[in-house]
Structure 1
């Protein structure tokens, strides 16, 4: 599932392309919205809330979309070939000089703008909120502290605690804290630091599609341990271990360095024999 900075950047680019313009084509191909025609509506703005996007129109409605695992929004010039198959398109929003195409958007809803909170009101503070301040931090801290018996890695992924962290940042935050993802929240020192670090990493990548937690933009050096299972830790060269964290559909691969990170951990997955 995309990280919050990916959704934030998509919203920023869609806003720049669509806001202030009238739709010359407003086609929705989602099963529940196939009869809706948005043509002629003015786009007043596009905004992200955690991993949710809202495209707002001048009739007081908003188009909600969520990327889930494989969704995305692309921008094209009129007449350009699409980079994904047309049968995957769920929304086509065209203004005079740009075409926004939403692919594989399984969650879409058209609702009054005044009712957006119905879809995102349960979320914790958005780590990329433009107006982030002490009250957001205090609320995130309150929600995180209440998960004292939860594993830190799972608490970081819980959007009801704070919105925006996905598996990449969960992994890298735990590494930079020197704690395994299975460390309990109550055993984690400086929860305010956890929140600040999560926000710092998201902010550092919010204006570009590439994501780095090390400061290097080289593809093989961009992350400390994420997706480096059975490869050397970039800090100490110890072999990075991997195991699943979470249950059922919520299970995600976890990566950690047994030397750089302290705390409980399950038996790692054995590498496949070739």
Structure 2
């Protein structure tokens, strides 16, 4: 699932292509809105809200989309052949004289009154890359359930909006705690949240989710997707297991030397019964 910085960049691309332009094509290829025709309306703006995209259109309408695991928006120049995926995977088409934005495999395509946007995004916590960012409120929400594992709490968009699994793992490493550490045992929840904002803000207009400061491929993260490789700080082997609860389980990565806290027992690269691990 894209992180908040990736969605921020997607919104910027869509805004640059569509904002201020009158739609020559406005098709929503989903059953709920198959008869909707947005052609002739002007696009006002495209804004991100956490991992959600809000395309505001004149007449008081908002197209709400979410990429989740497989969705993507691609912008094509006038006359350019669409090459993002097979045509049967197209879920939305927003075309202007300047270009066409095509939404592939979008799991969420919802046409709302702009005044009803709260129905789609009102549950979200403070947006790490939004004008409503409030570090104190994000910390308060995280600490409201002190027994919850920190990676799970960071991924809960009701606490703070924009963190995906890459940043959840990397933030645990930077805080020197395992992903299963209870939020209430964090050395400083305030420092963790501040670091989250710092990382997403630094990466909002570049790809790669860089957390190490090194933009070279393979060197961009400390532990994420580095199972079996040596920790860049101490040389210990980075481990992996699942975190979260089904069906929302995701891979966790951690250094058993640099990170304190609970972790599953790992044998032959597989996770076993929960145990305790520290340094």
- Identify whether the pair has TM-score above 0.5, normalized to the shorter chain: yes
| TM-score (norm: length of structure 2) | 0.94
| Mapping 1:80-159, distance limit 5 Å | 80-81=80-81, 82-132=83-133, 136-159=134-157
Q: Residue 166 of structure 2 contacts residue 209 of structure 2 at CA under 8 Å; is this kept in 1?
A: no
CA distance in 1 between partners of 2:94 and 2:160 (Å): 30
CA distance in 1 between partners of 2:73 and 2:175 (Å): 33
Q: Residue 95 of structure 2 contacts residue 101 of structure 2 at CA under 8 Å; is this kept in 1?
A: yes
2:46 counterpart residue number: 46
SS in 2 for 1:265: strand
Does structure 1 residue 36 correspond to structure 2 residue 12? no
For 1:137-156, what per-residue CA distance to the aligned partner results, in whole angstroms no more than 9, with x for missing partners?
A: 12111101102010111101
Q: Which structure 2 segments of 5+ residues have no match?
A: 271-279
Q: Which structure 1 segments of 5+ residues have no match?
A: none
1:57 counterpart residue number: 57
Relative to total residues, which structure has the larger strand share, 1 or 2?
2
Q: Residue 240 of structure 2 contacts residue 269 of structure 2 at CA under 8 Å; is this kept in 1?
A: no
1:9 counterpart residue number: 9
| TM-score (norm: length of structure 1) | 0.95
Q: CA deviation at 1:196?
A: 0.5
CA distance in 1 between partners of 2:89 and 2:234 (Å): 43
| Mapping 1:1-274, distance limit 5 Å | 1-81=1-81, 82-132=83-133, 136-268=134-266, 270-271=268-269
Which consecutive segments of 4 or more residues in structure 1 shift more than 6 A? none
SS in 2 for 1:9: helix
Residues 93 and 262 of structure 1: CA distance in aligned 2, closer, same or farther (over 3 Å): same
Q: CA deviation at 1:269?
A: 5.7
Residues 243 and 64 of structure 1: CA distance in aligned 2, closer, same or farther (over 3 Å): same
Give the aligned length. Answer: 269
Q: Residue 243 of structure 1 contacts residue 269 of structure 1 at CA under 8 Å; is this kept in 2?
A: no
CA distance in 2 between partners of 1:170 and 1:115 (Å): 30
Q: How big is the alpha-carbon RMSD for the aligned residues of Structure 1 and Structure 2?
A: 1.2
CA distance in 1 between partners of 2:167 and 2:268 (Å): 24
Q: Residue 126 of structure 2 contacts residue 132 of structure 2 at CA under 8 Å; is this kept in 1?
A: no
Q: CA deviation at 1:130?
A: 3.1
